[in-house]
Amino acid sequence: MHEFDDVVLKCFLENQEQLFPSPVVETLEEAEAFLEECMAIVVNSPKEVWEYFDEQGVDMEGADEEEILSADEIFDIGDGRYLIVEA
């Protein structure tokens, strides 16, 4: 089980509509439950985002770091970490 701190939860709560057409959570508690349910992960660098996609078998040929980090399921937490949400 992943531990999501308040910074991560607030980031998802405030930016969830980049991935979903309408809000799916309204509180930090709902955000935490949702992220746990969908097996979201927090990584510590763009390199780890890239490694995650590579491990998942995502074809990234020709993609650059900026394209990967702008994917809808990637949330820039703002402190160097990234939240990856598999919708």
In this prediction, residue 70 carries a pLDDT of 93
pLDDT tens, 37-73?
A: 999 999 999 999 999 999 999 888 888 888 899 999 9
Flag whether 23 is in a domain: yes
Q: Among 16-20, 30-34, 49-53, 56-60, where is mean pLDDT lowest?
A: 56-60
Domain with 62 in it: 6-84
Among 45, 46, 43, 32, residue whose Cα is nearest residue 1: 32
Per-residue pLDDT, 2: 61
User: How many domains would you assign to the chain?
Assistant: 1
User: Which residues of 5-81 form beta strands (DSSP E)?
Assistant: 41-43, 74-76
Instruction: Give the pLDDT confidence score for residue 1 in this predicted structure.
Output: 47
Is there a domain that residue 1 lies in?
Answer: no
Determine, yes or no, domain membership for 14: yes
* 47 within domain boundaries: yes
